[in-house]
Amino acid sequence: MFPRLPAFLAIILFGLVAACGSSQDSEPMTLDELYASEEGQDTHSFANPTEARVTHVSLDLRADFEAQRMVGSATLDITAADDAEEIVLDARGLEIREVVSGDGRQLEWEMGEATDDIHGAPLTVQLDGAEQIKITYASAPDAAALQWLSPEQTTGGEHPFLFSQGQAILNRSWIPTQDSPGIRQSWDARIVVPSELRVVMSAEDLTPQGEAVEGEPDLTAYRFRMEHEVAPYLIAIGIGDLEFREIGPRSGVYAEPSVVGEAAEEFADLEEMIDAAERLYGEYRWGRYDLLVLPASFPFGGMENPRLTFVTPTVIAGDRSLVSLIAHELAHSWSGNLVTNASWDDFWLNEGFTVYFENRIMEEVYGEERAAMLADLGWSDMMDSIEEVGGLNSADTQLHLNLAGRDPDDGMTQIAYEKGAVFLRTVEAMVGRERLDAWLRSYFDRFAFQPQTSAGLIRDMRANLFEGNEADELGLEAWIYEPGLPENAVHIESTRFTVVDRAIESFVRGGQLVNVGWREWTTQERLRFLNGLPRDLDEEKLRTLDDAYDLSDAGNSEIRFAWLMLAIENRYEPARASVREFLTSMGRRKFVAPLFEALWAEGDWGREQARRIYREARSGYHSVTTGTVDETLSWNGAGDE
């Protein structure tokens, strides 16, 4: 082992290595080990990575706005075991024309049966020795990842728009690859579009001006390259009438021309946030960090597509009060995009770590008080979520989930986010911030560009973070594998909320707003107030609030949402128009789904409104949102209930 060393030195060195033995145990698994292990199984993908896996995807696609299809080819680089005969890909609704090898030979392929409408179907290709395969195909007009917007559905109203949403298992509806977060792939793309539109993707932009397409004067091509291997759900595209505004040396925002100015104002602190994140947990490894503000139908608040976070326009409040969402998506550049859940059962590794990190960025940039308020609001969200999934004994309150046979979307509750963050705050309270931060920094470094599992995290924390008996004292495994909320859970309480809670009491008792400091309050205090009110309020109190603070016309989407939930739960008639206006003007599922649920819970009064509004709004929503609301309203495919 140490051939030229004197014996005594060898003994000392051996002793040292042995003493550090535990950290050897935590050597990350190789990918082959992971794919072969139980903890590394992804039940939401048909892929056979122990035999053959995709390492690079090269897209050459034309966006056909008339047919609402992406049409062209995907060329896949493949690493296969010596005896591998076939590769299995994920596909959902794809129309495959042909599959050829890198050297042009026709390859046999077969599309399996789709047994449900979530997973898609296995696309099996006989490799016949090929290390590269080229699939010529088109996506279906109803591809779940894609939303094709008519000009009227955009803010500008003049040009169509297309965007994709890959997480969790939607990208297989427009890209035939192994759609598993543990099978990382580098990628590049060439995308052809009508010349009046611009293409952006979650990758390096090689042709910001676009380039001519031979023989097609009305078309323009854009090329992109992602040199790092990423989870395939992170491949994303936006096409539309887009303008760019710089914010910092490595940051800026893309949006429709009528939005880009206010967006740049709202997100002016972006560069500072990146700096803060780097001070906390190490270098930002993706080059640029830009935002793409989507049309209002974007189904999420934000989506952490590498180099290009996608955001809903509903975070533009005019006063930067909702920018913790940007801190969140930015934090995913470490937790989620660098270190990625190997399967959706460990979704909490992405989101829980990100919520913790998000809050630390907010503390760095906006101070302790703001961070404490946000953390405390998160605690309330967690408690509500625990209730929603059936209480502390529900298996859905676990951090590590078993989502086999379920739509991964179902398991993606606030538990992963908020209980995950509370877990790390509890660890912080035990080992101290300094030790936790040092470990987190090294964790992101050591597992950069790799998949991670709950079991892998536990091994690493035991080897490289906890000392002595700490892991057991904390109840590490129970935190991750058991339902409920351990007794040592750390609840960050905001002192400012004590004042708000007193104002709630005083208002509920007297019906007067004298002790309510609304006008001086931040958005976070206002949310605490609205969410802290008793759920049944008489009409007079609701009217007092509405008149005093103009709640039905609130421009801040979070305030508007909190108010409308309260209004619906009390069948407050004057808010009817506001409910309809809000639900027909944006498609963010976090707002849309609970509002429809609340209406649905109010008997005929609410159901009649729900049906009418949904009939009007549904065609403007992305499939992620209709998927959830269809269920609530038992809406059938015929476009009626």
Contacting positions for ligand BES (CB under 6 A): 167-168, 300-304, 325, 328-329, 332, 351, 412, 417, 590
52 within 8 A of 81, measured Cβ to Cβ: yes
Choosing from 304, 329, 418, 597, the catalytic residue is: 329
- The window from 223-231, 233-241, 348-356, 598-606 that contacts Zn ion (CB under 5 A) reads 348-356
204 is catalytic: no
Tokens 């050829």 belong to which residue? Answer: 100
The number of helix segments (H) and strand segments (E) in the chain equals 23, 22
Closer CB to Zn ion, 354 or 524, in the complex? 354
Strand stretches in 332-430, DSSP E: 339-341
CB of 413 to Zn ion, least distance (A): 13
Cβ–Cβ contacts within 10 Å for residue 581, how many?
13
Please state, in angstroms and as integers, the Cα–Cα distance from residue 161 to each residue in 306, 316, 626, following that order: 20, 20, 19
Torsional sign, CA 463, 467, 473, 474: negative
For Zn ion, give the closer residue by CB, 333 or 454: 333
Is 70 or 144 the residue whose CB approaches ligand BES more closely? 144
Which of these, 584, 625, 583, lies nearest to 152 by C-alpha position?
Answer: 584
Question: What does 241 bind: ligand BES, Zn ion, none (CB cut-off 5 to 8 Å by kind)?
Answer: none
Q: Which option in Zn ion, ligand BES, none does residue 300 bind, with CB closer than 5 to 8 A by kind?
A: ligand BES
Structure tokens at 342: 């190997």
The torsion angle over the Cα atoms of residues 91, 94, 99 and 101, rounded to 10 degrees, is -50
Closest CB to ligand BES among residues 335, 494: 335
CB of 634 to Zn ion, least distance (A): 30
Give the number of residues in contact with Zn ion, rule: CB under 5 A: 2
Closest residue to ligand BES in the complex (CB): 301
235 binds, among Zn ion, ligand BES, none (CB under 5 to 8 A by kind): none
Nearer to Zn ion, 239 or 382 (CB): 382
Q: What is the DSSP letter of 403?
A: -
Contact 159, 241 (CB under 8 A): yes
301 binds, among ligand BES, Zn ion, none (CB under 5 to 8 A by kind): ligand BES
Is residue 481 annotated as part of the catalytic site, yes or no?
no
For every residue of 602-635, DSSP letters joined together read THHHHHHHHHHHHHHHGGGS-HHHHHHHHHHTT-
Closest CB to ligand BES among 302 and 456?
Answer: 302
In this structure, what are the phi and psi dihedrals at residue 442, rounded to the nearest 5 degrees? -70, -30
Minimum CB separation of residue 328 from Zn ion in Å reads 6
Minimum CB separation from ligand BES for residue 486, in Å? 23
Report residue 480 as tokens. Answer: 């991750």
Least distance to ligand BES, CB of residue 294, Å: 12
- Identity of the residue, 31 or 412, whose beta carbon is nearer to ligand BES in the bound complex: 412
Burial class (CB in 10 A: 0-12, 13-18, 19+), 309: buried
Minimum distance, C-beta of residue 285 to ligand BES, in the bound complex (Å): 18
Rg (CA), the chain: 26
Cis ω before 168 (30° cut-off from 0)? yes
Residue 590: contacted member of Zn ion, ligand BES, none (CB under 5 to 8 Å, by partner type): ligand BES
β-sheet bridge partners, residue 54: 78
Question: Which of ligand BES, Zn ion, none does 303 bind, CB closer than 5 to 8 A by kind?
Answer: ligand BES
Q: Is the dihedral of CA 457, 458, 459, 464 positive or negative?
A: positive
Residue with token string 């809406």: 635
CB of 167 to Zn ion, least distance (A): 9
Give phi and psi for 382, each to the nearest 5. -65, -45
Nearest alpha carbon to residue 90 among 192, 228, 231: 231
Name which of 284 and 300 has its Cβ closer to ligand BES.
300
Nearer to ligand BES among residue 354 and residue 453 (C-beta): 354
Using the minimum distance from each CB to ligand BES, give the nearer residue, 178 or 305: 305
- Edge-to-edge strands, sheet with 86-91: 86-91, 121-126, 109-111
Q: Which does 176 bind (CB under 5 to 8 A by kind): ligand BES, Zn ion, none?
A: none
| Rounded distance between C-alpha atoms, residue 473 and residue 279, angstroms | 30
Closest distance to ligand BES from the beta carbon of 376 (Å): 15
Q: Which of 289, 417, 549, 572 is catalytic?
A: 417
Contacted by 284, from ligand BES, Zn ion, none: CB < 5 to 8 Å by type: none
Residue 167: name its binding partner from Zn ion, ligand BES, none (Cβ under 5 to 8 Å by kind): ligand BES
Q: Least Å distance between CB 312 and ligand BES?
A: 7
CA distance 427 to 102: 50
Residues forming beta bridges with residue 99, ordered by sequence position: 135
Alpha-carbon distances, residue 321 vs 297, 324, 557 (angstroms): 21, 8, 11
Are 276 and 432 a contacting pair, CB within 8 Å? Answer: no
Do residues 205 and 176 lie in contact, with contact meaning Cβ atoms separated by under 8 Å?
A: no
Q: Cα–Cα distance between 454 and 423 in angstroms, integer? A: 13
Closest approach of Cβ 433 to ligand BES, in Å? 23
Q: Which residues bind Zn ion (CB under 5 A)?
A: 351, 354
- The residues that are catalytic are 329, 417
